[in-house]
Amino acid sequence: MTATTASPRTPLWWARTGVRAWTCAPVPRDVRAFHAALPGYAPTPLTELPFLAAELGVGRVFVKDESSRLGLPAFKALGAFWAVHRVLAERARSGQETGPVTLVTATDGNHGRALARAARLRGQHAHVLVPEGVHPRAVEAIVAEQARVTEVPGPYDEAVRRAARAATAPDTVLVQDTAWPGYEQVPAWIVEGYTTLCAEIDEQLTAEGIAGPDLVAVPVGVGSLAQAVVTHYRGSATDSSPALLSVEPDSAACVLESLAAGKPVTVTTGGTSMAGLNCGTPSSLAWPSLHGGLDAAVAVSDAESARAANRLATLGVPSGPCGAAALAGVRTALTCAGGEERRRALGLGDRSVVVLLSTEGPAANPYAEAAADR
């Protein structure tokens, strides 16, 4: 395996071989059925972009467009809605009072808004803590979902710590999308919720006559979505075994640095337009799956993400900085100096099928508008 230092010519990169033999337990089957029964549910588009395929030197490129998911501009609703459903069901099953509770979380934006929406629709309360650097309009969108918002003078990890403390109050439940020892059940439900996205991709590729992707590129914060992707494609009930590439901001590459170290590490984060990926510590629940199932990891700059978002927009796919990170990461891996070696590490050829997870639309992250104006 290799890790290199970031520079304009040599990207921050990690890779290894032999990972596709790693397997894990499959996803519960009732997750997709739950989402399919929700009002307003529809699979999000899987858009083919031949121009990108030509630019990247592969056979076909598809973008999973999460700019509108259950009425919200990001994929996070899949995890939040399923987790709230499971939390309330478990409370009812255990005989706890069925009156409204307060669902507490920390967020860089999208998860908090999704949780606030789920709480409102289920007649519950929400308390959302946001760290420094979250755009005021993202905060306003959470408030508009009737949530109480507390702004934390510190980074994301500090907001998570404060959310955990706030959730010790009576009639509160922590619904956090990152895990740590002793807090893993709810994050596991959130990860299960995200796998509906992958199930849709399978069906959509099958409709195109494609057995499965050769590479899936996924933006990464604490790693929960990447865990869902790994679980889906490395699950014992799944035949397809593509290469899996994680993409992070170069100012918050906690998963890449952890993979290079062979153990979870915490990194000091900096400011980034990829606000939803600005996380310094991998989820403890996600880590075994990331360590076992990811083929490679790459970090990208804000400028690279902005260029990718602009390119996607010209091709008709609305994407915010976090969502566009997937394209930025694949571009960096395949087209920067040393790209041929990285292409071989990913097992890609001129007929390969690449799927990019565009996890948010521009409306999910007001920084996207500023980037587009540059």
Q: Which residues are catalytic?
A: 76, 108
Q: Are 215 and 270 in contact, with CB atoms under 8 Å apart?
A: no
Q: What angle do CA 346, 350, 353 make, to 5 degrees?
A: 65
Say how many C-beta atoms besides its own lie within 10 A of residue 138's C-beta. 22
DSSP string of 49-64?
-HHHHHHHTSSEEEEE
Q: What angle do CA 53, 231, 21 make, to 5 degrees?
A: 80
Residue 54 class from Cβ within 10 Å (0-12 exposed, 13-18 middle, 19+ buried)?
exposed
Instruction: State the Cα–Cα distance between residues 193 and 107, nearest whole angstrom.
Output: 17
Structural tokens at position 203: 């069906």
Strands 148-151 and 125-130: parallel
Residue 95 class from Cβ within 10 Å (0-12 exposed, 13-18 middle, 19+ buried)?
exposed
Backbone angles phi and psi of 200, in degrees to 5: -65, -40
**Residue 280: CB partners within 8 Å, gap ≥ 6?**
155, 156, 157, 252, 254, 266, 267, 268, 269
Structural tokens at position 112: 């908090």
3-state DSSP assignment of residue 5: coil
Q: Are 179 and 22 in contact, with CB atoms under 8 Å apart?
A: no
Residue 263 class from Cβ within 10 Å (0-12 exposed, 13-18 middle, 19+ buried)?
exposed
Instruction: State the Cα–Cα distance between residues 260 and 4, nearest whole angstrom.
Output: 9
Which letter does DSSP use for residue 25 in this model? P
